[in-house]
Amino acid sequence: MTPIRDFPPGAAVSVLTPDMPLRALDYLAPEGGVATGAWVVVPLGRREVVGVVWGAGTGGFDPARLKAIGAVLDAPPMRDELRQFLTRAADYTLTPLPAMLRLATRVPGLADPPQMRRLIRATGTLPARTTEARTRVLGVLAELGGAGLPQADLCRAAGVGAAVLKTLVAQGVLAEGEVPRDLPYPRLDPGSGGRALSPDQSAAAAVLREGVRQGGYGTTLLKGVTGSGKTEVYLDAVAEVLERGRQALVLLPEIALTADFLARVEARFGALPGEWHSGVTPAERRRLWRMTAEGGVGLVVGARSALFLPFRDLALIVVDEEHDTSYKQEEGVLYNARDMAVLRGAMAGAQVVLASATPSLESWANAQAGRYRRLDLTARFGAAELPDMQAVDLRAAKLPSNHWIAPALQQAITARIARGEQSLLFLNRRGYAPVTICRACGQQIGCEHCDARMVEHRFQKRLVCHQCGASKPIPEACPSCGVEGRLAAIGPGVERMAEEAAELWPEARVKVLSSDLYSSARALKEDIAAIAEGGADIIVGTQIVAKGHNFPKLTLVGVVDADLGLQGSDLRAAERTFQLMRQVAGRAGRAERPGLALLQTHQPDHPVIRAILSGDEEGFWQAEAQARQAAGMPPYGRLAGIILSSTEAQPPYDLGADLARRDGPLRAVGAEVWGPAPAPIARVRGRHRVRLLVKAPKGAPLQAAISAWLAQVAVPSSVRLAVDIDPQSFL
């Protein structure tokens, strides 16, 4: 098949590369011509870089001085749909297009030609004489059913030396052959492992299937309590996609979740999907990137960056746990993968499913307004019931100092241990204690690079800054006054809760689940699997336990401090607390045993706590929506954050003040600007940070106004300016 040559040799074409600062540059089409979307190598300064032919030359460059495209790569051209998506995403997030393209080119060996690799497979001929080693080799290959393995892998798997293989090849028992390195993924069988759906599951699945069948764009909010079968339902829509030979993408917020999920996909469709996240090997990443473009993979499961894969025929995007804050990328290109999934769906003409037990207010409001379809699964599947939720009033509990487990919670855990059931102590605070104070001088130990306290991590025997990651050994003497032995840990972290649990239940197996205690996603996955099988009596965990893990023996959730999230002045404090508490409580009683959630609080009458306990979700959302509407806050108004930072304190502040004075372009669209103000964490990694906040009415052309506004000033080279459209974090 000869590709369409849009541009004849010598024509000026515009090439975009991730290495250009702001926009595409013009080059001359090479011998043989070149098509729009083609991957090419072009000279840039003294380097050769990989880029994409974006379209016709833009002109404005002296044609006599244009350089020629060096080579056209043997890779599937970028489709119009992806180019449009990147353009729109760049416009929306006010990101330069080259930086947006970088997200779509995070693939190792993009410029390398397709590679072959040597595999050994069985021919079916039997060896002249069987030995144990030979039997093992043939056993390993038989399990793969004809697929073959590289020599080194086969030696390892069979526990034999290369000589054994060599003999078998000589005898014709094994054959060596070359196959492309980037092979298509095993076909998923849409019909194989489907379960009988309950009536409301099948009603929801029918609507999603119909959407896929009709094709075209549409977004559905799939809301259902944890355990109601949302996954089961959207996998049914995936089956519809597979039946049509098209492609589906499922985004998950946490790599640690994928293990569980992959196993489910395998059980449902008879083979594993393509996987895309930071833990995947470079060779697999390259293979998956190519196969999405060539149609050699039907289902991809990935982290948010999977949104930028070059799918050939994307029919469905699922964003699971759509409310999860980790979908917002807070460094580099600031984008929200949930919103970008909707944009990609619109560009690709694909169905988008946002699944959650506790949707974001944004998605809830979009469904209310009729922009999204809404499907509700109300009952938990089978016998499992939502846990009973009760408050434990900490004002009445007389706790000894440095203890945080109230008697009511203590009794409940004791009862679980006696019955051989698991309990979860939830506290969203990593480390041993959030504050270390000197009892002699009263000073707290802070980070040298940030305006943040150092957090004691006793397992690691270090103080760690949660902003920049800096750490140091826990000192003997106070760094401020030099007095020894008077440093004291104040307040609880998960490590300290584990200590209290071990003290109260010396016989119990206590396990801490906190992201910093794991060096790899794999180690975390393994521990989660072991715990799910009953490898702990008490789990002490941060929010990583809130995310979809299945612990069948877990029947009690104790929230150590339900007030924690309510203290901040964050716009979404109430929403987040509501979501997190309900998610965590949803961990209990997933199997046949009923669960109980106990929320320790000093404010049992706080409206948010009352809404959590009563389970009146719609009531909570209505109230929250009204409050936001009255204040003109998202999703009923729009926000953008401007973060200015520098190693010196004054320049960002001066620039911020200058911007605040020149607010004409903002006022012209009805927007206002607040600030400059020092960011709540005013110094991170040695950089001083100043924030401005732009607030605009819902329909205002916010991005255009901000561009015009920022264009008025020259940003000094010592200052970094970042624009955060729809900010989630205000730190």
Judged by the rule CB under 6 A, the positions of this chain that interact with ligand ADP are: 195-198, 201, 224, 226-232, 381
Question: Given strand 454-457, what is the order of strands in its sheet?
Answer: 454-457, 462-465, 471-473
Which among Zn ion, ligand ADP, none contacts residue 611 (Cβ within 5 to 8 A by kind)? none
Shortest distance (Å) from residue 339 CB to ligand ADP: 22
Shortest distance (Å) from residue 264 CB to Zn ion: 39
Which among ligand ADP, Zn ion, none contacts residue 75 (Cβ within 5 to 8 A by kind)? none
Which among Zn ion, ligand ADP, none contacts residue 643 (Cβ within 5 to 8 A by kind)? none
Shortest distance (Å) from residue 266 CB to Zn ion: 42
Q: Which is nearer to Zn ion, 452 or 702 (CB)?
A: 452
Q: Which is nearer to Zn ion, 198 or 467 (CB)?
A: 467
Q: Which is nearer to ligand ADP, 36 or 226 (CB)?
A: 226
Which among ligand ADP, Zn ion, none contacts residue 321 (Cβ within 5 to 8 A by kind)? none
Shortest distance (Å) from residue 450 CB to Zn ion: 3
Q: Which is nearer to ligand ADP, 37 or 224 (CB)?
A: 224
Which among ligand ADP, Zn ion, none contacts residue 555 (Cβ within 5 to 8 A by kind)? none
| Residue in this structure with the two tokens 């009973």, named with its chain if needed | 388
Single-letter amino acid, residue 520: S
Shortest distance (Å) from residue 571 CB to Zn ion: 25
Q: Which is nearer to Zn ion, 340 or 470 (CB)?
A: 470
Which among Zn ion, ligand ADP, none contacts residue 450 (Cβ within 5 to 8 A by kind)? Zn ion
Which among ligand ADP, Zn ion, none contacts residue 468 (Cβ within 5 to 8 A by kind)? Zn ion
**Quick one: the chain helix, strand, coil %, rounded to 5?**
35, 25, 40
Which among ligand ADP, Zn ion, none contacts residue 28 (Cβ within 5 to 8 A by kind)? none
Provide the token pair at 22: 């702001």
Distance CA 703, CA 272 (A): 41
Which among ligand ADP, Zn ion, none contacts residue 224 (Cβ within 5 to 8 A by kind)? ligand ADP
Q: Which is nearer to Zn ion, 470 or 560 (CB)?
A: 470
Which among Zn ion, ligand ADP, none contacts residue 197 (Cβ within 5 to 8 A by kind)? ligand ADP
Shortest distance (Å) from residue 224 CB to ligand ADP: 5
Q: Which is nearer to ligand ADP, 300 or 355 (CB)?
A: 355
Distance CA 103, CA 93 (A): 13
Which among ligand ADP, Zn ion, none contacts residue 467 (Cβ within 5 to 8 A by kind)? Zn ion
Shortest distance (Å) from residue 200 CB to ligand ADP: 10
Q: Which is nearer to ligand ADP, 14 or 201 (CB)?
A: 201
Distance CA 100, CA 308 (A): 9
Q: Which is nearer to Zn ion, 199 or 473 (CB)?
A: 473
Is residue 562 within 8 A of residue 447, CB to CB? The reply is no
Beta strand 510-513 with 554-559 is unpaired
Q: Which alpha helices (H) appear in 107-226, and where do they start and end?
A: 132-143, 151-158, 162-170, 199-214
| 717 closest CA partner among 632, 610, 645, 639 | 645
Shortest distance (Å) from residue 247 CB to ligand ADP: 22
Compute CA distances 120 → 124, 151, 162, 167, 249, whole Å: 13, 6, 12, 13, 33
Q: Which is nearer to ligand ADP, 73 or 580 (CB)?
A: 580
Which among ligand ADP, Zn ion, none contacts residue 209 (Cβ within 5 to 8 A by kind)? none
Shortest distance (Å) from residue 470 CB to Zn ion: 5
| Residue in this structure with the two tokens 């073959």, named with its chain if needed | 148
Burial class (CB in 10 A: 0-12, 13-18, 19+), 45: exposed
Indicate the length of the chain as a whole number. 731
Distance CA 627, CA 397 (A): 33
Shortest distance (Å) from residue 708 CB to ligand ADP: 45
Shortest distance (Å) from residue 656 CB to Zn ion: 22
Is residue 50 within 8 A of residue 78, CB to CB? The reply is no
Other residues' Cβ atoms within 10 Å of the Cβ of residue 696:
22
Distance CA 716, CA 307 (A): 34
Q: Which is nearer to Zn ion, 277 or 449 (CB)?
A: 449
Of the chain, the end-to-end C-alpha distance in Å amounts to 53
Beta-bridge mates of residue 392: 600
Shortest distance (Å) from residue 352 CB to ligand ADP: 17
Distance CA 180, CA 173 (A): 23
Burial class (CB in 10 A: 0-12, 13-18, 19+), 49: middle
Residues 6+ apart with CB under 8 A from 346: 217
Q: Which is nearer to ligand ADP, 232 or 726 (CB)?
A: 232
Distance CA 247, CA 259 (A): 21
Is residue 438 within 8 A of residue 480, CB to CB? The reply is yes
Distance CA 40, CA 49 (A): 8
Shortest distance (Å) from residue 463 CB to Zn ion: 10
Distance CA 336, CA 264 (A): 27
DSSP for 201-230, written as a single string: HHHHHHHHHHHHHH-S-EEEEEEE-TTSSH
Which among ligand ADP, Zn ion, none contacts residue 541 (Cβ within 5 to 8 A by kind)? none
Q: Which is nearer to Zn ion, 316 or 468 (CB)?
A: 468
Q: What is the CA 521 to chain-centroid distance, rounded?
A: 13
Shortest distance (Å) from residue 683 CB to Zn ion: 8
| Residue in this structure with the two tokens 């069979």, named with its chain if needed | 158
Which among ligand ADP, Zn ion, none contacts residue 662 (Cβ within 5 to 8 A by kind)? none
Using H for helix, E for strand and C for coil, what is the string for 681-719? EEEECCEEEEEEEEEEECCCCHHHHHHHHHCCCCCCCCC
Q: Which is nearer to ligand ADP, 147 or 263 (CB)?
A: 263
- Enumerate residues 437-476 that contact Zn ion by CB under 5 A: 447, 449-450, 465, 467-468, 470
How many residues form the binding site for Zn ion (CB under 5 A)?
7
Using CB under 5 A as the criterion, which residues of the chain lie in contact with Zn ion when the complex forms? 447, 449-450, 465, 467-468, 470
